[in-house]
């Protein structure tokens, strides 16, 4: 099939690779403009651009896909289908309606659950036991198009957003190929989404702050849901500390701890009190420092009895 591909981050890379390996005619790759990245602010190309260049595919980086010039470019490329995987821009109606097979989106949730920008993060944060990938025919709404195919995956109780992301980007690539095959053969029709839906909005700074009055399971889900990016944080002695890895404590053999209160158990387990239950902290990162074990943090700060995360 003659395809224009639109995508930007790592999540989109396997889909582009799969299309290429399957022999689809990729006539253009649209990705976000190069942007500053990292501490040095070095101008960096997107992962999709890097792969497209490696595959010697033509790359286009319009500042706005809504610019009339973008539509003219699409018309010149004459795709049968536009594939969109985490592109980062909203397509106007004129582009959505142009290709004969429509615009197919790979979305990292089981729609209509978790429409929006951060579906994996919020599924993990909310303690879901499953999520998945959906392909859909795009319309002008926010992830509201007709569902084509979907595949479910389980979320383990200690899985991070990074773990699920890496699973779903591979599953999404496979599902995309099946979707395009079904559309080409005329065997696949879109199904309207059910009325009940939920959103996965862009993460805000306050979403990253831990509240130790929450129960232990909620805090644990927040920590793993924000790993490896952007990271859940708390404060200790007025300093921001990111918490990267935790475990629920099943047994309750410790003294009562106030929310946020820190205790080092005899076998060197770093335990923190919560609104309900206790949490074992494994990996932390003080501001401006490298990641370290919670035990190294405890010893380095010489934490006294009764001190707390706030």
| pLDDT mean across residues, the chain | 97
Domains identified in the chain, total number: 2
Query: Does 44 reside within a domain?
Result: yes
Query: Does 260 reside within a domain?
Result: yes
**Domain of 294?**
205-301
233-252 burial, b at 16+ Cβ within 10 Å, e below that, comes to bbebeeeebbbbbbeebeee
**Is there a single domain that holds both residue 50 and residue 80?**
yes
The enclosing domain of 106 has a CATH number of 3.40.50.170
* Residue-wise pLDDT tens digits, 85-118: 999 999 999 999 999 999 999 999 999 999 999 9
Query: Does 196 reside within a domain?
Result: no
Average pLDDT over residues 23-42: 94
Average pLDDT over residues 157-166: 98
pLDDT of 68 strictly over 70: yes
pTM (predicted TM-score): 0.95
pLDDT of 289 strictly over 70: yes
**Is there a single domain that holds both residue 153 and residue 100?**
yes
The whole-number pLDDT of residue 253 equals: 64
**Is there a single domain that holds both residue 176 and residue 233?**
no
**Is there a single domain that holds both residue 55 and residue 120?**
yes
Query: Does 113 reside within a domain?
Result: yes
**Is there a single domain that holds both residue 172 and residue 211?**
no
pLDDT of 173 strictly over 70: yes
* Residue-wise pLDDT tens digits, 242-286: 999 999 998 766 678 999 999 998 778 999 999 999 999 999 999
**Residue 71 phi/psi, 5° resolution?**
-65, -40
The whole-number pLDDT of residue 219 equals: 99
The enclosing domain of 230 has a CATH number of 3.10.25.10
The whole-number pLDDT of residue 152 equals: 98
**Is there a single domain that holds both residue 251 and residue 155?**
no
Cα–Cα distance for residue pair 20/26, rounded to 1 Å: 7
Alpha carbon distance, N-terminus to C-terminus of the chain: 55
In contact, 81 and 138? CB cutoff 8 Å: no
Cα–Cα distance for residue pair 117/5, rounded to 1 Å: 19
**Is there a single domain that holds both residue 236 and residue 154?**
no
């Amino acid at each position: 099939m003659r395809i224009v591909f639109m995508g930007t981050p790592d999540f989109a890379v396997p889909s582009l690779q799969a299309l290429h390996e399957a022999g689809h005619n990729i006539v253009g790759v649209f990705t976000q403009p190069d942007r500053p990245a990292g501490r040095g602010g070095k101008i960096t190309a997107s992962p999709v651009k890097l792969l497209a260049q490696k595959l010697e595919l033509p790359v286009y980086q319009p500042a706005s896909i809504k610019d009339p010039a973008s539509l003219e470019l699409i018309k010149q490329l004459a795709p049968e289908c536009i594939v969109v995987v985490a592109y980062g821009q909203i397509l106007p109606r004129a582009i959505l309606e142009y290709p004969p097979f429509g615009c197919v989106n790979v979305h990292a949730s089981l729609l209509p659950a978790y429409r929006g920008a951060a579906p994996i993060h919020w599924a993990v944060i909310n303690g879901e036991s499953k999520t998945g990938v959906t392909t859909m025919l795009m319309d002008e709404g926010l992830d509201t198009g007709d569902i084509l195919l979907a595949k479910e995956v389980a979320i383990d109780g200690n899985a991070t957003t990074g773990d699920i992301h890496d699973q779903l980007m591979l599953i999404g690539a496979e599902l995309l190929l099946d979707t395009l095959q079904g559309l080409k053969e005329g065997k696949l029709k879109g199904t309207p989404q059910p009325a009940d839906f939920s959103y996965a909005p862009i993460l805000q700074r306050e979403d990253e702050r831990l509240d130790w009055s929450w129960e232990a399971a909620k805090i644990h889900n927040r920590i793993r849901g924000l790993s490896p990016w952007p990271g859940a944080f708390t404060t200790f002695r007025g300093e921001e500390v990111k918490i990267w890895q935790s475990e629920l404590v099943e047994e309750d053999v410790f003294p009562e701890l106030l929310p946020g209160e820190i205790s080092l158990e005899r076998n060197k387990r770093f335990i923190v009190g919560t609104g309900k239950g206790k949490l074992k902290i494994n990996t932390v990162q003080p501001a401006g420092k490298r990641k370290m074990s919670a035990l190294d943090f405890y010893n380095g700060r010489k934490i006294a009895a009764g001190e707390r995360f706030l």
